[in-house]
């Protein structure tokens, strides 16, 4: 089992999710929950594709931080 950071952003009328560790792995949904459900499927498909084509998994270097700006 692997764990990935997922970013969910509100767009114009829907929510978008993406995985910084897996470039190009994105999804969308009408709600944040739907976007998360869809990103789980996208992660599964992306990692299966990489494995099937013997493409190395990208390095997982992620930092989540909040910064304060005046």
Task: Please give the pLDDT value at position 63.
Answer: 75
Task: Please give the pLDDT value at position 28.
Answer: 97
Task: Please give the pLDDT value at position 48.
Answer: 96
Hey, what are 5's tokens? Answer: 């950071």
Hey, what are 15's tokens? Answer: 């929510």
For residue 49, the Cα-to-chain-centroid distance in whole angstroms is 15
pTM (predicted TM-score): 0.82
Name, in order, each residue with C-beta under 8 angstroms of 59's C-beta and a sequence gap of 6 or more: none
Q: Mean pLDDT throughout 48-62?
A: 87
For 32-69, letters b (16+ CB in 10 Å) and e give eeebeebbeebbeebbeeeeeeeeeeeeeeeeeeeeee
Predicted confidence (pLDDT) at residue 61 exceeds the cutoff of 70: no
Task: Please give the pLDDT value at position 17.
Answer: 97
């Amino acid at each position: 089992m692997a764990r990935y950071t997922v970013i969910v952003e509100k767009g114009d009328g829907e929510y978008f999710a993406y995985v910084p560790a897996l470039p190009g792995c994105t999804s969308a949904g009408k709600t944040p929950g739907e976007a998360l459900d869809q990103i789980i499927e996208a992660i599964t498909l992306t990692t299966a594709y990489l494995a099937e084509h013997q493409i190395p998994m990208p390095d997982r270097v992620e930092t989540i931080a909040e910064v304060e700006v005046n």
